[in-house]
Structure 1
Amino acid sequence: MPRDAGHRGQTALITGAGGGIGRALAVAASERGLGVVLVGRRRPHLEATRALLRPGSPCLVVPADVTVAQDRLALKQAIEAQVGRLDFLVNNAGTLWAGPLSTMDDQALSSLVATNLTAPMALIRDLLPLLSAAGGRVVNIGSLLGDIPYPLFAAYCATKHGLRGLSDALRRELRGQGVGVTYAAPGAPTPRERKR
């Protein structure tokens, strides 16, 4: 992961970096001079994100499923070996499921909770030594539905409410370790934005 002369030396790991909000966050981090670790399940999507970064921006691409313990371990080892530090952990990977709760089978429930809630908890736990050493920050990407319970999204709302609760509790728990915690819930577009 080569570093250019203007780089501040900070690194942000972004899950779900193969598209959407994760891709936008990676591009924004790169433009601000941060190195980025792009994490997602599909390498071609991650490479497409890499192509949008500021030229010369430090970047490490790690295809991984953050719900899998072995993948999380490989991710941690890659950061330790190739980057050496972690300043920001952005838990952005998520999955959405809409429909009546009565139609969700156990597999759908397990997958939703594993991706949206369990994986962020496990990643924070696994990467905490690196974040503590850097005085870093966890950023958990939530949802407006983490605040507003909405019919036909009950299980999804529950995971985002849980992520918000995790963030609030960890903010207090990690304060003494010098690690900050932010819960960011992207809002719904305004009527004017929806027309664009």
Structure 2
Amino acid sequence: MCSYVVYLVNTLILFPEACAAILWKTSKAAPKEPLGGAHINPAWISQQIKIAVMGAMNELLEMDTPTLLNHRMLKFRQLGGFIESENVDPAKKVNMKKKDEPIAELEEQASVPDLDLELEVEKLKQQIETSKEDASFQPPDLSLNEMIEKLKKEVDREFAEAARSMGLQEKLEMLKK
């Protein structure tokens, strides 16, 4: 890991969490930034970075050359490696097309949330009707409006997800315009 830190010091530009994860092995192990950001107290931040780099250098100095080379070799050998999660029939793998995959599973999964959404819509309609009758006596209920907005967003999200899964995202965006 130490050779990896020294190797990356001058080669990458990363966001703060990634940089902290490299220097301190996890982003949580990194020292807290001073109030207002690192630019408020650059001396303290540079001191903390110096301590981390010197610690990594000390770990490297403890390693002999063959061990260091072995670490570096293992790092490069792991690049591009992956683990397959499930075996696929070779004939299906070669001749796979989108239409070959069953869509019934997706429809079954989608039917349960759709029923829930329909029930919620019906409940909201009933609440709206009752609130219209009582509107002359009471101000409109803000939580009801929030529920309606939340439901609209959820329905829009479900439509977008369904369109994306069926490959109709571009047509849906064209219709929205």
- Give the TM-score, by structure 2 length: 0.24
- Give the TM-score, by structure 1 length: 0.23
Q: Larger Cα Rg: Structure 1 or Structure 2?
A: 2
Is the helix fraction higher in 1 or 2?
2
Higher relative contact order (CA 8 A, sep 6+): 1
